[in-house]
Amino acid sequence: MAVGCVALSLGVLLTEPLRRFALRRGITDRPDGRKGHARPTPYLGGIAVAVVTIGAGAGAAFAGGFGNPGLAVLLGGAAIMAVLGLVDDLRPLGPAPRLGVEAAAASVVVLVGGHPTVFGGVFDAVLAVLWIVFTTNAFNLLDNMDGAASSVCAAIGGFLCWHAWSSGQGGLGVVLAALSGASLGFLFHNWHPARIFLGDSGSLFIGFTLASASVVLHQDAAGLSVPAGLLVTTLVVTLDTALVMLSRYREARPLLQGGLDHAAHRLRRMGLTVRQTVMVLGTFAALGGLSGALLAWGVLPSGGLLLAAVVVGVTTVALLLRVPSVPGPAPSAAPVGEDGHPAVRLSVGRQMVGQTAGVAEGLRSKEPGPLHESGAAG
Protein backbone atom coordinates (compact mmCIF):
# COMPACT_ATOMS: atom_id res chain seq x y z
CA MET A 1 0.00 0.00 0.00
CA ALA A 2 2.78 2.46 0.91
CA VAL A 3 4.64 1.71 -2.33
CA GLY A 4 1.52 2.35 -4.37
CA CYS A 5 0.78 5.66 -2.63
CA VAL A 6 4.34 6.91 -3.11
CA ALA A 7 4.27 5.83 -6.75
CA LEU A 8 0.94 7.62 -7.25
CA SER A 9 2.38 10.85 -5.84
CA LEU A 10 5.50 10.58 -7.98
CA GLY A 11 3.42 9.82 -11.05
CA VAL A 12 1.45 13.02 -10.51
CA LEU A 13 4.56 15.12 -9.90
CA LEU A 14 6.78 13.79 -12.70
CA THR A 15 4.17 13.94 -15.45
CA GLU A 16 3.77 17.71 -15.44
CA PRO A 17 7.42 18.65 -16.17
CA LEU A 18 7.48 16.00 -18.91
CA ARG A 19 4.35 17.54 -20.41
CA ARG A 20 5.94 20.98 -20.47
CA PHE A 21 9.16 19.62 -21.94
CA ALA A 22 7.26 17.83 -24.70
CA LEU A 23 5.34 21.00 -25.56
CA ARG A 24 8.54 23.05 -25.74
CA ARG A 25 10.19 20.47 -28.00
CA GLY A 26 7.13 19.91 -30.14
CA ILE A 27 6.87 16.24 -29.14
CA THR A 28 3.14 16.04 -29.70
CA ASP A 29 0.60 13.67 -31.19
CA ARG A 30 -1.12 15.57 -33.98
CA PRO A 31 -4.73 14.90 -34.98
CA ASP A 32 -5.61 13.18 -38.24
CA GLY A 33 -8.46 11.16 -39.67
CA ARG A 34 -7.47 8.02 -37.75
CA LYS A 35 -7.44 9.64 -34.30
CA GLY A 36 -10.10 11.08 -32.06
CA HIS A 37 -8.37 14.05 -30.42
CA ALA A 38 -8.79 17.55 -31.82
CA ARG A 39 -5.53 19.31 -30.87
CA PRO A 40 -1.82 18.42 -30.67
CA THR A 41 -1.15 16.70 -27.34
CA PRO A 42 2.24 15.84 -25.80
CA TYR A 43 2.94 12.13 -25.38
CA LEU A 44 5.83 11.60 -22.98
CA GLY A 45 3.63 10.59 -20.05
CA GLY A 46 4.79 6.99 -20.26
CA ILE A 47 8.29 8.03 -19.27
CA ALA A 48 6.99 9.08 -15.83
CA VAL A 49 5.27 5.72 -15.33
CA ALA A 50 8.39 3.83 -16.44
CA VAL A 51 10.79 5.82 -14.24
CA VAL A 52 8.67 5.36 -11.12
CA THR A 53 8.11 1.63 -11.73
CA ILE A 54 11.72 0.82 -12.57
CA GLY A 55 12.93 2.89 -9.62
CA ALA A 56 10.69 0.97 -7.24
CA GLY A 57 11.80 -2.33 -8.73
CA ALA A 58 15.46 -1.39 -8.44
CA GLY A 59 14.90 -0.44 -4.80
CA ALA A 60 13.22 -3.78 -4.14
CA ALA A 61 16.09 -5.64 -5.82
CA PHE A 62 18.65 -3.68 -3.79
CA ALA A 63 16.82 -4.39 -0.54
CA GLY A 64 16.70 -8.08 -1.41
CA GLY A 65 20.40 -8.26 -2.19
CA PHE A 66 19.80 -8.64 -5.95
CA GLY A 67 19.00 -12.30 -5.40
CA ASN A 68 16.18 -12.45 -7.96
CA PRO A 69 17.58 -12.55 -11.50
CA GLY A 70 14.10 -13.01 -12.94
CA LEU A 71 12.97 -9.68 -11.51
CA ALA A 72 16.08 -7.92 -12.82
CA VAL A 73 15.52 -9.35 -16.31
CA LEU A 74 11.86 -8.34 -16.26
CA LEU A 75 12.78 -4.77 -15.30
CA GLY A 76 15.50 -4.70 -17.94
CA GLY A 77 13.09 -5.87 -20.63
CA ALA A 78 10.51 -3.31 -19.53
CA ALA A 79 13.14 -0.56 -19.70
CA ILE A 80 14.01 -1.64 -23.23
CA MET A 81 10.32 -1.39 -24.16
CA ALA A 82 10.19 2.16 -22.81
CA VAL A 83 13.22 3.13 -24.88
CA LEU A 84 11.85 1.35 -27.95
CA GLY A 85 8.56 3.18 -27.57
CA LEU A 86 10.30 6.51 -27.08
CA VAL A 87 12.28 6.00 -30.29
CA ASP A 88 9.04 5.12 -32.08
CA ASP A 89 7.37 8.24 -30.65
CA LEU A 90 10.14 10.45 -31.99
CA ARG A 91 10.68 8.64 -35.29
CA PRO A 92 8.07 5.96 -36.15
CA LEU A 93 9.52 2.49 -36.69
CA GLY A 94 8.22 -0.28 -38.88
CA PRO A 95 6.65 -3.47 -37.49
CA ALA A 96 9.73 -5.67 -38.08
CA PRO A 97 12.24 -3.93 -35.78
CA ARG A 98 9.63 -3.41 -33.09
CA LEU A 99 8.50 -7.04 -33.07
CA GLY A 100 12.10 -8.23 -33.18
CA VAL A 101 13.10 -6.27 -30.08
CA GLU A 102 9.92 -7.27 -28.26
CA ALA A 103 10.44 -10.96 -29.03
CA ALA A 104 14.08 -10.83 -27.90
CA ALA A 105 13.19 -9.15 -24.60
CA ALA A 106 10.30 -11.55 -24.00
CA SER A 107 12.54 -14.56 -24.72
CA VAL A 108 15.04 -13.52 -22.05
CA VAL A 109 12.24 -13.03 -19.50
CA VAL A 110 10.84 -16.49 -20.24
CA LEU A 111 14.26 -18.20 -20.15
CA VAL A 112 15.29 -16.62 -16.84
CA GLY A 113 11.98 -15.99 -15.11
CA GLY A 114 10.22 -19.19 -16.08
CA HIS A 115 6.93 -19.96 -17.81
CA PRO A 116 3.81 -22.09 -17.23
CA THR A 117 3.34 -25.59 -18.61
CA VAL A 118 0.63 -26.46 -21.10
CA PHE A 119 2.02 -29.07 -23.50
CA GLY A 120 5.50 -29.59 -22.12
CA GLY A 121 8.82 -28.90 -23.75
CA VAL A 122 10.10 -25.92 -25.70
CA PHE A 123 6.68 -25.26 -27.22
CA ASP A 124 5.50 -23.82 -23.91
CA ALA A 125 8.36 -21.32 -23.91
CA VAL A 126 7.46 -20.25 -27.45
CA LEU A 127 3.82 -19.78 -26.45
CA ALA A 128 4.86 -17.68 -23.45
CA VAL A 129 7.01 -15.42 -25.66
CA LEU A 130 4.19 -15.03 -28.16
CA TRP A 131 1.77 -14.18 -25.37
CA ILE A 132 4.03 -11.46 -24.00
CA VAL A 133 4.54 -9.94 -27.45
CA PHE A 134 0.82 -10.11 -28.20
CA THR A 135 -0.21 -8.48 -24.92
CA THR A 136 2.46 -5.81 -25.25
CA ASN A 137 1.05 -4.70 -28.59
CA ALA A 138 -2.54 -5.16 -27.44
CA PHE A 139 -1.94 -2.49 -24.79
CA ASN A 140 -0.42 -0.30 -27.48
CA LEU A 141 -3.65 -0.68 -29.46
CA LEU A 142 -5.79 -0.07 -26.36
CA ASP A 143 -4.17 3.34 -25.84
CA ASN A 144 -6.75 5.02 -28.07
CA MET A 145 -8.85 7.12 -25.67
CA ASP A 146 -8.19 9.41 -22.72
CA GLY A 147 -7.57 7.33 -19.60
CA ALA A 148 -8.23 3.93 -21.20
CA ALA A 149 -4.83 2.23 -21.06
CA SER A 150 -3.75 3.74 -17.73
CA SER A 151 -6.99 2.84 -15.92
CA VAL A 152 -6.96 -0.73 -17.26
CA CYS A 153 -3.29 -1.04 -16.26
CA ALA A 154 -4.03 0.16 -12.73
CA ALA A 155 -6.85 -2.38 -12.33
CA ILE A 156 -4.94 -5.37 -13.70
CA GLY A 157 -1.70 -4.42 -11.96
CA GLY A 158 -3.45 -4.12 -8.61
CA PHE A 159 -4.77 -7.66 -8.71
CA LEU A 160 -1.51 -9.06 -10.07
CA CYS A 161 0.23 -7.32 -7.16
CA TRP A 162 -2.18 -9.04 -4.78
CA HIS A 163 -1.36 -12.36 -6.45
CA ALA A 164 2.38 -11.73 -6.21
CA TRP A 165 2.33 -10.85 -2.51
CA SER A 166 0.14 -13.84 -1.65
CA SER A 167 2.49 -16.20 -3.52
CA GLY A 168 5.60 -14.90 -1.75
CA GLN A 169 7.04 -12.90 -4.65
CA GLY A 170 7.44 -9.63 -2.78
CA GLY A 171 9.86 -8.05 -5.25
CA LEU A 172 7.47 -8.51 -8.13
CA GLY A 173 4.67 -7.27 -5.90
CA VAL A 174 6.57 -4.02 -5.32
CA VAL A 175 7.01 -3.53 -9.07
CA LEU A 176 3.31 -4.13 -9.74
CA ALA A 177 2.25 -1.86 -6.88
CA ALA A 178 4.48 0.89 -8.25
CA LEU A 179 3.13 0.36 -11.78
CA SER A 180 -0.48 0.60 -10.60
CA GLY A 181 0.22 3.65 -8.45
CA ALA A 182 2.18 5.46 -11.17
CA SER A 183 -0.60 4.72 -13.68
CA LEU A 184 -3.16 6.25 -11.34
CA GLY A 185 -0.90 9.25 -10.83
CA PHE A 186 -0.57 9.68 -14.58
CA LEU A 187 -4.36 9.34 -14.87
CA PHE A 188 -4.71 12.69 -13.09
CA HIS A 189 -3.24 14.26 -16.23
CA ASN A 190 -4.69 11.78 -18.74
CA TRP A 191 -8.31 11.84 -17.53
CA HIS A 192 -10.63 13.33 -20.15
CA PRO A 193 -9.91 15.86 -21.49
CA ALA A 194 -6.31 14.62 -21.49
CA ARG A 195 -3.43 17.04 -21.16
CA ILE A 196 -0.83 14.39 -22.05
CA PHE A 197 -0.74 10.89 -23.56
CA LEU A 198 1.25 7.81 -22.62
CA GLY A 199 2.81 7.49 -26.04
CA ASP A 200 4.35 4.25 -27.26
CA SER A 201 6.96 4.55 -24.53
CA GLY A 202 4.22 4.10 -21.95
CA SER A 203 1.85 1.69 -23.65
CA LEU A 204 4.62 -0.75 -24.63
CA PHE A 205 6.13 -0.47 -21.16
CA ILE A 206 2.94 -1.25 -19.23
CA GLY A 207 1.91 -3.98 -21.66
CA PHE A 208 5.26 -5.76 -21.46
CA THR A 209 5.48 -5.41 -17.67
CA LEU A 210 1.98 -6.76 -17.02
CA ALA A 211 2.34 -9.59 -19.56
CA SER A 212 5.76 -10.67 -18.26
CA ALA A 213 4.61 -10.48 -14.63
CA SER A 214 1.55 -12.58 -15.46
CA VAL A 215 3.68 -15.25 -17.16
CA VAL A 216 6.16 -15.37 -14.26
CA LEU A 217 3.36 -15.57 -11.69
CA HIS A 218 1.87 -18.54 -13.56
CA GLN A 219 5.16 -20.43 -13.95
CA ASP A 220 3.99 -23.17 -11.58
CA ALA A 221 0.61 -23.49 -13.26
CA ALA A 222 -0.28 -26.32 -15.63
CA GLY A 223 -3.16 -27.51 -17.77
CA LEU A 224 -6.29 -25.41 -18.26
CA SER A 225 -5.37 -23.08 -15.43
CA VAL A 226 -2.70 -21.51 -17.68
CA PRO A 227 -4.90 -20.25 -20.55
CA ALA A 228 -7.69 -19.47 -18.08
CA GLY A 229 -5.47 -17.36 -15.85
CA LEU A 230 -3.70 -15.52 -18.65
CA LEU A 231 -6.89 -14.88 -20.64
CA VAL A 232 -9.12 -13.56 -17.87
CA THR A 233 -6.37 -11.31 -16.51
CA THR A 234 -5.97 -9.52 -19.83
CA LEU A 235 -9.49 -10.10 -21.20
CA VAL A 236 -10.19 -6.43 -21.98
CA VAL A 237 -7.10 -5.87 -24.11
CA THR A 238 -7.43 -9.27 -25.77
CA LEU A 239 -11.03 -8.63 -26.79
CA ASP A 240 -10.24 -5.15 -28.06
CA THR A 241 -7.46 -6.48 -30.30
CA ALA A 242 -9.61 -9.37 -31.53
CA LEU A 243 -12.48 -6.97 -32.28
CA VAL A 244 -10.26 -4.59 -34.26
CA MET A 245 -8.49 -7.30 -36.26
CA LEU A 246 -11.73 -9.12 -37.12
CA SER A 247 -13.52 -5.90 -38.05
CA ARG A 248 -10.72 -4.71 -40.32
CA TYR A 249 -10.41 -8.13 -41.96
CA ARG A 250 -14.14 -8.27 -42.69
CA GLU A 251 -14.08 -4.76 -44.14
CA ALA A 252 -10.89 -5.40 -46.17
CA ARG A 253 -9.00 -2.61 -44.38
CA PRO A 254 -5.29 -2.69 -43.39
CA LEU A 255 -5.02 -4.70 -40.17
CA LEU A 256 -2.20 -2.65 -38.67
CA GLN A 257 -3.33 0.84 -39.61
CA GLY A 258 -4.81 2.89 -36.78
CA GLY A 259 -8.47 3.81 -36.73
CA LEU A 260 -11.52 4.72 -34.65
CA ASP A 261 -12.90 1.18 -34.61
CA HIS A 262 -11.90 -0.02 -31.14
CA ALA A 263 -14.21 -1.15 -28.36
CA ALA A 264 -13.94 2.25 -26.70
CA HIS A 265 -14.97 4.07 -29.87
CA ARG A 266 -17.94 1.75 -30.40
CA LEU A 267 -19.08 2.27 -26.81
CA ARG A 268 -18.96 6.00 -27.49
CA ARG A 269 -21.19 5.53 -30.54
CA MET A 270 -23.62 3.64 -28.32
CA GLY A 271 -24.09 6.83 -26.31
CA LEU A 272 -21.55 6.59 -23.50
CA THR A 273 -19.34 9.54 -22.64
CA VAL A 274 -15.56 9.23 -22.68
CA ARG A 275 -15.42 8.95 -18.90
CA GLN A 276 -18.23 6.39 -18.79
CA THR A 277 -16.46 4.35 -21.46
CA VAL A 278 -13.22 4.33 -19.48
CA MET A 279 -15.09 3.32 -16.33
CA VAL A 280 -16.68 0.38 -18.18
CA LEU A 281 -13.28 -0.77 -19.47
CA GLY A 282 -11.71 -0.38 -16.02
CA THR A 283 -14.53 -2.30 -14.35
CA PHE A 284 -14.23 -5.23 -16.75
CA ALA A 285 -10.47 -5.20 -16.29
CA ALA A 286 -10.90 -5.31 -12.51
CA LEU A 287 -13.35 -8.22 -12.77
CA GLY A 288 -10.88 -10.09 -14.96
CA GLY A 289 -8.04 -9.42 -12.55
CA LEU A 290 -10.13 -10.55 -9.60
CA SER A 291 -11.13 -13.74 -11.43
CA GLY A 292 -7.49 -14.49 -12.18
CA ALA A 293 -6.53 -14.01 -8.54
CA LEU A 294 -9.38 -16.24 -7.34
CA LEU A 295 -8.31 -18.90 -9.84
CA ALA A 296 -4.74 -18.78 -8.52
CA TRP A 297 -6.02 -19.34 -4.97
CA GLY A 298 -8.17 -22.29 -6.03
CA VAL A 299 -11.51 -20.57 -5.45
CA LEU A 300 -12.63 -20.76 -9.10
CA PRO A 301 -12.32 -23.87 -11.30
CA SER A 302 -10.04 -23.44 -14.29
CA GLY A 303 -12.28 -25.20 -16.80
CA GLY A 304 -15.41 -23.28 -15.85
CA LEU A 305 -13.57 -19.97 -15.79
CA LEU A 306 -11.98 -20.58 -19.21
CA LEU A 307 -15.38 -21.46 -20.69
CA ALA A 308 -16.95 -18.37 -19.14
CA ALA A 309 -14.17 -16.13 -20.48
CA VAL A 310 -14.56 -17.54 -24.00
CA VAL A 311 -18.35 -17.15 -23.95
CA VAL A 312 -18.15 -13.59 -22.62
CA GLY A 313 -15.44 -12.74 -25.11
CA VAL A 314 -17.21 -14.12 -28.17
CA THR A 315 -20.52 -12.55 -27.15
CA THR A 316 -18.96 -9.16 -26.50
CA VAL A 317 -17.10 -9.11 -29.82
CA ALA A 318 -20.24 -10.21 -31.68
CA LEU A 319 -22.31 -7.44 -30.10
CA LEU A 320 -19.71 -4.73 -30.68
CA LEU A 321 -19.31 -5.78 -34.31
CA ARG A 322 -22.90 -4.61 -34.83
CA VAL A 323 -21.88 -1.08 -33.92
CA PRO A 324 -20.53 0.92 -36.90
CA SER A 325 -16.75 0.77 -37.11
CA VAL A 326 -16.48 4.34 -38.41
CA PRO A 327 -18.35 7.50 -37.41
CA GLY A 328 -21.34 8.20 -39.60
CA PRO A 329 -22.86 11.56 -40.55
CA ALA A 330 -25.65 12.84 -38.37
CA PRO A 331 -29.07 12.00 -39.90
CA SER A 332 -30.35 15.57 -39.41
CA ALA A 333 -27.49 16.95 -41.49
CA ALA A 334 -28.54 15.10 -44.66
CA PRO A 335 -29.91 17.51 -47.30
CA VAL A 336 -33.21 16.83 -49.04
CA GLY A 337 -33.37 16.51 -52.81
CA GLU A 338 -35.96 17.84 -55.19
CA ASP A 339 -37.83 14.53 -55.11
CA GLY A 340 -38.30 14.77 -51.34
CA HIS A 341 -35.81 12.00 -50.56
CA PRO A 342 -32.53 12.55 -48.66
CA ALA A 343 -29.83 13.60 -51.12
CA VAL A 344 -27.10 11.47 -49.58
CA ARG A 345 -25.32 10.19 -52.66
CA LEU A 346 -23.47 13.42 -53.36
CA SER A 347 -22.59 14.01 -49.72
CA VAL A 348 -21.35 10.46 -49.32
CA GLY A 349 -19.27 10.80 -52.45
CA ARG A 350 -17.73 14.00 -51.22
CA GLN A 351 -17.07 12.41 -47.84
CA MET A 352 -15.31 9.44 -49.48
CA VAL A 353 -13.17 11.76 -51.60
CA GLY A 354 -12.29 13.81 -48.53
CA GLN A 355 -11.40 10.72 -46.52
CA THR A 356 -9.27 9.36 -49.37
CA ALA A 357 -7.39 12.63 -49.63
CA GLY A 358 -6.93 12.70 -45.86
CA VAL A 359 -5.51 9.19 -45.79
CA ALA A 360 -3.16 9.97 -48.68
CA GLU A 361 -1.96 13.09 -46.92
CA GLY A 362 -1.45 11.11 -43.70
CA LEU A 363 0.61 8.53 -45.53
CA ARG A 364 2.82 11.26 -46.95
CA SER A 365 3.34 12.81 -43.52
CA LYS A 366 5.41 11.42 -40.65
CA GLU A 367 2.38 10.40 -38.61
CA PRO A 368 2.28 7.03 -36.76
CA GLY A 369 2.07 4.04 -39.03
CA PRO A 370 1.44 0.33 -38.48
CA LEU A 371 1.29 -1.03 -34.95
CA HIS A 372 0.85 2.47 -33.54
CA GLU A 373 -2.44 3.52 -31.95
CA SER A 374 -1.96 6.87 -30.24
CA GLY A 375 -3.95 7.69 -27.15
CA ALA A 376 -6.70 9.95 -28.41
CA ALA A 377 -9.71 11.61 -26.94
CA GLY A 378 -12.83 9.87 -28.08
Per residue in 74-84, pLDDT (tens digit) is 999 999 999 99
Q: How much is the pLDDT for 63?
A: 74
Per residue in 168-183, pLDDT (tens digit) is 888 999 999 999 999 9
Q: How much is the pLDDT for 181?
A: 95
How many helices (DSSP H) and strands (DSSP E) are in the chain? 14, 2
Annotated binding-site ranges:
140, 200
| 64 vs 213: CA distance, rounded Å | 18
Long-range contacts (CB closer than 8 Å, 24 or more residues apart) made by 120-124: none
Mean pLDDT lowest among 244-253, 310-319, 336-345: 336-345
Asked if residue 336 belongs to a domain, the reply is: no
Annotated binding-site ranges for Mg(2+):
140, 200
Per residue in 94-153, pLDDT (tens digit) is 899 999 999 999 999 999 988 898 888 899 999 999 999 999 999 999 999 999 999 999
Q: How much is the pLDDT for 58?
A: 86
Is the pLDDT score of 67 beyond 90?
Answer: no
Asked if residue 374 belongs to a domain, the reply is: no
Is the pLDDT score of 375 beyond 70?
Answer: no
Asked if residue 103 belongs to a domain, the reply is: yes
| 183 vs 58: CA distance, rounded Å | 18
Asked if residue 96 belongs to a domain, the reply is: yes
Asked if residue 361 belongs to a domain, the reply is: no
pLDDT above 70: percentage of residues in the chain: 83
Asked if residue 376 belongs to a domain, the reply is: no
Instruction: Please compute Rg for the chain using Cα positions.
Output: 21
- Please work out, in degrees rounded to the nearest 5, the angle formed at the alpha carbon of residue 311 by the alpha carbons of 306 and 314: 120
261, 376 Cβ separation under 8 angstroms: no
The amino acid occupying position 36 is G
Residue range(s) defining the domain that contains residue 192: 1-322
Asked if residue 342 belongs to a domain, the reply is: no
* Beta bridge pairs of residue 222: 117
User: Is the four-CA dihedral 71, 77, 80, 86 of positive or negative sign?
Assistant: negative
pTM for the full predicted model: 0.85
Asked if residue 351 belongs to a domain, the reply is: no
For the chain, the domain total comes to: 1
Q: How much is the pLDDT for 255?
A: 86
